[in-house]
Chain A
Amino acid sequence: MPKASLSHSLLVSFIIASIVVTASFAAVRGQILLYLIPATISLLAIISLTKIKTPLAKETDFLAKLAGIQGLKSIQDALLTYIGEGIIVTDPEGRIITINKWAELILSTTAKEAVGKHLGDLVLIEEEKGFFITLDKLVRRLTAFHGRKTQAVLHVVQEDKTTSLALATTIIPIIIEGNKQAMLFVLPDTNREKESERVRTEFLSVIAHQLRSPLGSMRWGMEMLLSGDVGAISKETRETIDQMYESARWMITLVNDLLNVSRIEQGRVPNEPELIDYLEIVKTVIKESELDAKKKQVTITIEVKTDLIPMVMLDPIRFREVIQSLISNAIKYTYPQGKISIILANDNKNLQIMVADSGIGIPEKEQPKIFSKFFRATNAIETKAEGTGLGLFVVKSYIEAWEGKIWFESKEGKGTTFFVQIPIEGKMIIQKLPQDQKSKVTNQNDQPRTTTSI
């Protein structure tokens, strides 16, 4: 029986008093029926007193319920369902024991399917930039780090099997007993991630646009100074302005690259196909690159397989950008006196382009990341050549918009060969069009692509 408080005692006293009074009254009157009154009061008193609890008692009872396993589980369920992040708990063997609603959505699975499955079957774990690790290795690595969190990027391969969703995940090992540990994975809220990615892209786009005007003015201003048309300049002045000019040109390339990338990220890959003489475009790009190639005494050769289809339906501006990017990379990363060979061929289905250089190559460990945004291989960075790391990302996006493929073979120190395959079935003609029917309005761009990179 709960400990009574003062008011409680007063209440009890009052009830006892009323029972005594009404019982006495009944006795005095001598009527049996009158005994019903105290009897009722007593009955009611017993019922309510056992139910009436003091505030302290109420709390104690509530806590008792809470401490109950049922209560805890309800709270846990509520937490897991409504928390805005994905939660996965794996057992010491790496199998999923708990997965919340968000994680189900992110992994495109259901608790029913996922529980019992090895997490390694559903995601790839990138521990550090470029270094992937198995779940078992991760578990062993984090043994004895109970409660200490670590970060890794989990890659969820999407349905199309060629893209993956990268999630910055927090991993917390939890020692269960001895050296057996469960792992708690906290996956970010992808909606929030997508939203911030979108905001970031838009921000980049706005800034890049704003930068173009002043950069354009600077460029032409310096060209005017260098040409002498606004007054003669000394040799020292010329050298200084030359230096500034190069920087301005580089900034313009950066801004253009950023604009391209943000457009691609927003899903707006520009693609305006026309009937183009692609061989002509390749030859023009090679001619424009001659100066840079000469500086390094690098020779560029072009080989054209026989009965090459003369014209195909492709976006001329983007095709030119792709060729410029590949050739400029080849020149940039080829050793002096090296060789670059370009081969063009086609069959009925595809246009094939091969750009082979005898340059620094791409280290094997870094090859999977070559087409990623902002990625530059360590040996490329070491050459001190400028690069944004955006070139190949953009090139790949364009080629994929044409439903084509790009891949490469490379050996560090020996060279790299890029292969491009673009489907042209139903998009080509056999004969060359007369000159005046070719499109004249083009977006001429003489920005050097020497500044985009692997």
Chain B
Amino acid sequence: MTNQEQPQASKKLILVAEDDQFYANIYKVKLTKEGYQVVLASDGEQTLKAARLKKPDLILLDLIMPVKDGFETLKELRGDSNLRGVKVVVLSNLGQDEDIKKVRELGATDYLVKTNISIQKVIDKIKEHLG
């Protein structure tokens, strides 16, 4: 894999679906620092709208959100033929096996548990998925 310099226009776009302002801000600060473009959505409906409009390269998806939760949103994302190729990294505080399984079945690319992982690790994983 060759190391190429990315021109400004083709900076990768990450859509962050997170209703908690504290976390949303952390993602914005850290991901922007890494050189990504960041768009925020604070509920499931907004997430879907933003996804269809902006066509992000990766969606960072929280599971517990108002209006439409992460599970429903993921289902609809995967159901949309235009968005099937988008990487979806689920980031939640639920650590139960049932949730991980459900998310996998719905087609998530990865599942991270906020409490058990460092911010840096999250960033590293995102970088990994975006190649």
Instruction: Give me the interface of A with B, judged by CB distance under 8 Å.
Output: 212-213, 215-217, 219-221, 223-224, 227, 229-230, 252, 255-256, 259, 270, 272, 440-447
Contact = CB atoms under 8 A, between A and B. Distances in A.
B5 interface: no
B63 to A, nearest CB: 12
Interface in B54-108: 93, 95, 97, 100-101, 103-104, 108
Contacts, number: 69
5 contacts: A212-B115, A213-B93, A221-B22, A441-B111, A443-B112
A224 B26 contact: yes
Nearest to B113: A443
Given A216-B115, A229-B30, A443 B100 contact: yes
Contacts of A224: 26, 29, 119
Contacts of A441: 100, 103-104, 108-111
B30 A446 contact: no
Interface string B12-39: 0000000000110010011001000000
Contact of B111 (A212, A256, A443, A446): A443
B3 interface: no
Given A272-B101, A441-B104, A220 B119 contact: yes
Q: Report, nearest first, the 8 A-B pairs whose CB atoms are least far apart.
A: A216-B115, A445-B116, A270-B97, A216-B114, A223-B119, A441-B104, A212-B115, A447-B116
Contact of A217 (B22, B95, B125): B22
B95 A443 contact: yes
Nearest to B30: A229
A215 B115 contact: yes
Interface centre among B95, B101, B109 (most CB of A within 10 A): B95
B110 A445 contact: no
Contacts of A252: 115-116
Contact of A212 (B23, B93, B119, B120): B93
Contacts of A220: 23, 26, 114, 119
Interface string B39-58: 00000000000000000000
Contacts of A270: 97
B116 to A, nearest CB: 5
